[in-house]
Chains A and B, each alone.
Chain A
Amino acid sequence: MSKRIEVNDLDVYYGDFKAVEGVTLTVEPRSVTAFIGPSGCGKSTFLRTLNRMHEVIPGARVDGEVLIDGSNLYGPGVDPVLVRRQVGMVFQRPNPFPTMSIRENVLAGVRLNNRKMAKSEADDLVEKSLQGANLWNEVKDRLDRPGSGLSGGQQQRLCIARAIAVSPDVLLMDEPCSALDPISTLAIEDLIEQLKNDYTIVIVTHNMQQASRVSDRTAFFNIAGTGKPGKLIEFDDTDVIFSNPKVQATEDYVSGKFG
């Protein structure tokens, strides 16, 4: 289920404004890759181009290619709906559907494909996904209650359960812990560690400790100034980035001199 992502010379534009310029990197399967960098450097924007969610923002477009196991996401005839089914996403703020119960939330993605699902099969999937998200024990007695009744950390894990229920190839996480308290954050980080065994995970984070704790490889993005495009400065193993970076800007950032 886990796949390799190759990005070749990718530019992202908002209308005429170039937000990200010339990104080339490869994400290995069954690994966690962290994107770090100061605010506004385009790391979240870039993350969204990996499942074409940037197209939700009016005027956003992309130049370049993103290959997932050799298939270009921006090739002719590619259906963004199909891309997003294979590349799941978890957002900054937990966003379970407020009108659905916990169970319905988990099944939301699967139901879209009109697959006629036996109740037992659906039950299995709900349990498997919630267990995969370390949430099963906390909610198994109240599956029919609304998802918005859970705590922030539980909601975020519910969103992860919802994302993995459709068995995606890749899981993108856009600052998944920034709205959570430290204990919930720890729970999510443990979960990421487990999910790594099955999925390719890309995570954007503002928290450098978090990047160093959970990721195998780290990409540092930076921006030269307001109005300039964000660029990929350095991409290497996490230990190297945090202990022995090759670029001065990376060292300044990870050592807390700016950002």
Chain B
Amino acid sequence: MTTTQTRTDAAHSSGNGLENAYAHGRLGRRVPWLVLGATMLLSIVAFALLAAAGSTDGFNIVGAIMVGALGYGVVIFITSLLVEGMRQAKDRLVTALVTTAFIIALLPLISLLYTVVVNGLPRFDVEFFTWSMRSVVGEGGGAVHAIVGTLLMTLTAAVISVPIGLMTSIYLVEYSRGGPLSRAINFFVDVMTGIPSIVAGLFAYAVFALIFGPGIRLGIAGAIALAVLMIPVVVRSSEDMLKLVPNELREASYALGVPKWLTVLKIVLPTAMAGITTGVMLAIARVIGESAPLLVAAGFTANLNYDLFDGRMQSLPLFVYNSYIAQGTDAQAYLDRAWAGALTLILIVMALNLLARLIAKIFSPKKGR
């Protein structure tokens, strides 16, 4: 139902509430909540009994909530059908379903964040951020080589892709007149957006293997693979931002006799800068978690490597993957490192996302609605 924020005052209705032609059986505002509470309680009690009886291992909170939500849908549908009729019953059922869908989506998010934090904290220590995995077997060791590698490769990828992406979007918005080149670019940027990340890695590997022979793994190859993934994101987000700059600003600048390139440089870009920066940050956040292309192009190693052009380079996502896939004799130590790496990775990505949103919020031109 539409949110009825009307004060339903019985005293006001001049005592003819019963003969009201527009009233029919309606569930009170509190009824759905009561039904929800009752079914949830029932479901939780049932699951607790099952757990007590030993037929399930421990209390299954997720199962209890799911069964409770389903039960609510059924009960409210039947109640509403009896009191309010089919149409209202359907409406209430859909409301219950749609809300349940949202709750279902929250479950993996909560579970994931919870497990990563709980499992990641034991090894989230100083050693983790100061040691590499060089000659570490079993416990101890750290991910400093992976963090350095991730930062180096991601930064390089950004250095490659931001100028190309930004200039391309400037071409699309400011210079192209819908000719074949701009249509081709538009189409192929869309194609690029759809490139599976591992294919980008294969591409970078194929290029370098052709030059240096097969089996080559280089940090720069990883950076190029990431750049391939990053460019279309940068192009699309910058394009959107440049399109938001009102034409009046450009015309005002032309009317002052400012040449086009200066207009773009001094008027258009500064106006769109906050949005472009946000887009770049989000693009970086997207590729910093990429693992598949780096597995193929940059390989993995236990050593600290600062040189993009010499030898394999470890990255944080691959550190996590590798610790999990190749568990050594002391499996728990490897798993602990994997979780700590996952926690670090999530924190970095979240921080980037938050920063991007903050930039967008603080520096964006105020919307004049």
- Chain B residues in 8 Å Cβ range of A56: 2
Q: Which residues of B contact A (CB under 8 A)?
A: 1-8, 10, 12-14, 16-17, 19-26, 84, 86-88
> Are A72 and B87 in contact (CB-based, < 8 A)?
no
Q: Of A31-39, A73-81, A159-167, A180-188, which stretch is located at the interface?
A: A73-81
Main secondary structure of the interface of B (DSSP, over half): loop
A39-59 CB mask vs B (1 if < 8 Å, else 0) is: 000000000000010011011
A65 at the interface (CB under 8 A from B): yes
Q: Are A77 and B17 interface neighbours, CB within 8 A? A: yes
Residues of A within 8 A of B20 (CB): 71-72, 75, 77-78
Please give, as numbers and ranges, the residues of chain B lying within 8 Å of A77 by CB-CB distance. Answer: 17, 20, 23-26
Q: Once the chains are docked, how many angstroms separate the CA of A75 from the CA of B22?
A: 9
Asked if B23 and A78 sit within 8 Å, CB to CB, the answer is: yes
Going nearest first, the 4 A-B pairs with the smallest beta carbon separation are A75-B13, A77-B23, A71-B21, A71-B20
Report yes or no: A61 in contact with B13, Cβ–Cβ below 8 A.
Answer: no
A-B contact pairs, 8 of them (CB 8 A): A67-B14, A68-B21, A71-B22, A74-B6, A80-B1, A112-B87, A113-B87, A114-B87
A229–chain B nearest beta-carbon distance, Å: 17
Q: Are B22 and A79 in contact (CB under 8 A)?
A: yes
Most B CB contacts (10 A, CB to CB) among A59, A64, A81 go to: A81
Asked whether, in the complex, the Cβ of A72 is within 8 Å of the Cβ of B14, the reply is yes
Q: Do residues B8 and A80 form an inter-chain contact, with CB atoms below 8 A? A: no
Find the B residue at minimum CB distance from A72.
Answer: B13
Q: Known A55-B3, A74-B8, A76-B10; judge A69-B21 contact (CB<8 A).
A: yes
**Is residue A70 contacting chain B, with contact meaning CB distance below 8 A?**
yes
Q: What is the CA–CA distance of A60 and B5 in the complex, to the nearest angstrom?
A: 7
Residue of chain A at shortest CB distance from B8: A76
Q: Mostly helix, strand, loop or mixed at chain A's interface?
A: mixed
- Whether A79 and B26, one on each chain, are in contact in the complex, defined by CB atoms closer than 8 angstroms, is yes
Contact indicator B24/A61 (Cβ below 8 Å): no
Closest to A85 in B: B22
B22:A59 contact, CB within 8 angstroms? no
Nearest CB of chain A from residue B81's CB, rounded to whole Å: 13
Q: How far does the Cβ of A219 sit from chain B's closest Cβ, in whole Å?
A: 23
Instruction: Select from chain B the residue with minimum beta-carbon distance to A55.
Output: B2
Q: How far is the CA of A98 from the CA of B142 in the complex (A)?
A: 61
Contact between chains at B22 and A55 (CB < 8 Å): no
Q: What 7 new A-B contacts, CB under 8 Å, besides A76-B13, A113-B87?
A: A63-B7, A68-B21, A71-B19, A79-B22, A80-B4, A82-B22, A114-B87
- CA of A74 to CA of B87 in the docked complex: distance in angstroms? 21
- Nearest-neighbour CB distance to chain A for B118, whole angstroms, equals 40
In the complex, whether A83 has a CB less than 8 A from a CB of chain B is yes
Residues in chain B near residue A72, CB distance under 8 A: 12-14, 16-17, 20
Known interface pairs A73-B22, A75-B23. Does A80 touch B7 (Cβ–Cβ under 8 Å)? no
Which residues of chain A are within 8 angstroms of B6 by Cβ–Cβ distance?
Answer: 52, 55, 61-62, 74
Please judge, given known A-B contacts A56-B2, A76-B23, A77-B24, whether A70 and B8 are in contact too, CB under 8 Å.
no
Instruction: Please give the distance in Å from B369's CB to the nearest CB on chain A.
Output: 16
State whether A55 touches B21 (Cβ < 8 A).
no
Kindly list chain A residues whose C-beta atoms are within 8 Å of the C-beta of B25. 77
Scoring A62, A77, A82, A114 by chain B CB atoms within 10 A of each residue's CB, the highest score goes to: A77
A183 to B19, CA, bound (A): 45
Please report the C-alpha to C-alpha distance between residue A91 and residue B162 in the assembled complex, in whole angstroms: 49
Beyond A65-B12, A72-B16, A74-B8, whether A79 also contacts B23 by CB under 8 A is: yes
How long is the Cα–Cα vector from A75 to B26 in the complex, in angstroms?
A: 12
Residue A155 is within 8 A (CB to CB) of chain B in the complex: no
Residue among B4, B13, B22, B87 having the largest count of chain A Cβ atoms under 10 Å: B22
Residue of B2, B23, B24, B87 with most partner-chain A CB within 10 A? B23
